[in-house]
Amino acid sequence: MYENDEVVLQSPLVPGLLLRSRASGVTSELLQELSDDLYQKIAAEMNLSETAFITRINPSDNFTTGSRFHLRWFTPTNEVNLCGHATLASAAVLFQYNKNVNPILVFETRSGDLAVTQKGEGYIMDFPLNAPTPEDPNEFRDIIKVAVGNHAVQEVYLSSNTKKLLIRLADSCDRSVLTSLKIDPVALQSSDKSGKVGGVIVTMKGSPDCQPGYDFYSRFFAPWNGIPEDPVTGSAHTVLGSYWSKKLGKKKMLAYQCSRRGGELELEVRDDGRINIAGQTVTVLQGTMKL
């Protein structure tokens, strides 16, 4: 909240977008809008992948009975259009700490209305599906070289809406290839000559014989937004969900993002061009920031 020159930050460490993730997001509830510059400075001070700011739509609204709120996300360097784990954190703060009475909360964002529903001990986020299109790997050969080196690449797709480049490793690669990638964020960002890329997804088909049977694995790198590697990325899975749903012929999928922290994601691709992403939260910090 924003009162008497203080911002109260309620900061859930968000596990996942399901089960065992340890991605983190800070959420701040504000009684009034701050300047964009101040939002950015707070996010830089937090120095997490994203910091979310919730504000009331109308002055008469409150965080306990209101069902619609404004929501914005900032990385340490800039504002972004979509963020999964910080949205999950925002809903958790409203439901758990403000005891919001509504079964569904709707956030008005730069990506349109995003609904979050309580389900048991977790939450389901309703996000737009961002279908990528196939691209000629030669156009992005410099990025591919920095991202995966000499490992075999099966195909390359691009989501122009989100500026996320999807690089699929060949099925002959095992999971250790993905987890062992060491990507230089400066080199990755400078390797993009097209201006079309704002983040790189490296993905591969899952191992159904293992338990649990993941449908696919991924990692996500976004130095363009001040994020060398994101631990668990809801927005990237709006692209991955669309891609792998078509490749696997499945609507419901279990995914794993292979960052150092790592995290499972449970996805459901819907026929209306949306995707459900489920998750739980764990709060590890609550404090006050004086401006």
Cα–Cα distance, 125 to 276 (Å, whole number): 6
pLDDT for the residue numbered 28:
64
Active-site position among 50, 135, 264, 266: 50
pLDDT for the residue numbered 263:
86
Cα–Cα distance, 207 to 217 (Å, whole number): 9
Cα–Cα distance, 226 to 222 (Å, whole number): 7
- Using alpha carbons, select from 12, 239, 219 the residue that is nearest to residue 127: 239
pLDDT for the residue numbered 285:
73
H helix intervals, the chain: 36-46, 84-92, 141-148, 175-179, 185-190, 234-248
Check if the beta carbon of residue 234 is closer than 8 Å to that of residue 274.
Answer: no
CA–CA–CA angle 217, 211, 230 (5° rounding): 30
pLDDT for the residue numbered 99:
94
Per-residue pLDDT of the chain (291 residues; tens, 9 = 90+): 333 333 334 444 333 333 233 344 556 667 678 899 999 998 998 888 888 999 999 888 999 999 999 999 999 999 999 999 889 989 998 998 899 999 999 999 999 999 999 988 889 999 999 999 999 999 999 999 999 999 999 999 999 999 999 999 999 999 999 999 999 999 999 999 899 999 999 999 998 677 679 999 999 999 999 999 999 999 999 999 999 999 999 999 999 999 988 888 999 999 999 999 998 887 777 777 777
CA–CA–CA angle 66, 87, 98 (5° rounding): 40
Beta-carbon-side half-sphere exposure of residue 223 (alpha carbons within 13 Å):
14
Cα–Cα distance, 266 to 258 (Å, whole number): 15
- Using alpha carbons, select from 9, 96, 91, 78 the residue that is nearest to residue 41: 78
Active site residue 29: no
Check if the beta carbon of residue 278 is closer than 8 Å to that of residue 124.
Answer: yes
Q: Which domains does the chain have, with CATH numbers?
A: 2-124+278-290 (3.10.310.10), 133-269 (3.10.310.10)
pLDDT for the residue numbered 26:
59
CA distances for 120 relative to 14, 103, 158, 221, angstroms: 16, 11, 35, 32
- Using alpha carbons, select from 201, 202, 190 the residue that is nearest to residue 163: 201
269 CA to centre of own chain: 16
